[in-house]
Structure 1
Amino acid sequence: MTQYLTEREVRGIAEYARIGLSGEELSEMTVDLNNIIETLQSIKQLDLEGVEPTFHPIGSLSNVMREDVETESFTQQVALENAPKQQDGSFLIPSILGEGGDA
């Protein structure tokens, strides 16, 4: 199999992407990336003369967002009905930093 990338180049890519790789992982990643590139080489054999680039898989679709329409929402009381604990009209949750009261 052709080697498209060396371990040195893969190490550089990993450092650029801020990915820490051990020596074994670097070797495995080099093999994996070279296999991926080898698999994609068949694309070079396709006749793409006159084929316009596609920038969106659905063609000329430009906006898939719905209109932002204001609708009625839950009242505070309804929103808190199923809360296991609440305090002063708010959800009461355990402290994630280990400080504060027992919730």
Structure 2
Amino acid sequence: MALSEDDVRGIADYARIALEGDELAEMTAYLNDAVDMLEPILAYNLPDVDPTFHPIGSLSNVMRDDAVDADRAFTIDEALGNAGSSRERSFRVPAILGEEE
């Protein structure tokens, strides 16, 4: 299935990319080449294989509960013990965005 310049213009508009004249023709050729490279995939006959839309399947939440592990947690004093500089309950680091303190 070859893409026409109208198809590519529509894709570019949707992506908010301004293509004019030669750029549109060049992008149409480029996208058609990309689609042609995927053509060999259609040669596989896999009627019993369901499409995979996500590599992990139906896994919906991969985040753990945000809970303190009392066996591994540092106290503030332990955390700041090797700090080069600290103020109140925070690490002090050199400014990188300006001279403000």
Fold match, TM over 0.5? yes
In the alignment, is residue 66 of structure 1 matched against residue 77 of structure 2?
Answer: no
The offset of 1:58, in angstroms, is: 3.3
Give the letter for the 2:33 counterpart.
N
Moved more, 67-76 or 48-57: 67-76
* CA deviation profile, 1:66-87 (whole Å, cap 9, x unmatched): 33124667787263522339xx
* CA deviation profile, 1:7-33 (whole Å, cap 9, x unmatched): 122112211221111322211110111
Shift of the 6–56 alpha-carbon distance from structure 1 to 2, 3 Å rule, reads closer
- Aligned pair count reads 87
Structure 2 residue corresponding to 1:8, chosen from 6, 23, 29: 6
Give the corresponding residue for 1:99.
none
Taking only aligned residues, the RMSD between alpha carbons, in angstroms, comes to: 3.0
Shift of the 19–80 alpha-carbon distance from structure 1 to 2, 3 Å rule, reads same
- Secondary structure at the counterpart of residue 83 of structure 1: coil
Distance 2:4 2:95 in 1: 56
TM-score normalised according to structure 1 size: 0.62
Distance 1:11 1:45 in 2: 29
* Displacement over 3 Å in runs of 4+: 58-63, 70-76
Unpaired segments ≥5 residues, structure 1 = 86-92, 95-101
Unpaired segments ≥5 residues, structure 2 = 81-85
Give the letter for the 1:13 counterpart.
I
Shift of the 8–62 alpha-carbon distance from structure 1 to 2, 3 Å rule, reads closer
In the alignment, is residue 82 of structure 1 matched against residue 93 of structure 2?
Answer: yes
Give the letter for the 1:26 counterpart.
L
Shift of the 9–52 alpha-carbon distance from structure 1 to 2, 3 Å rule, reads closer
TM-score normalised according to structure 2 size: 0.63
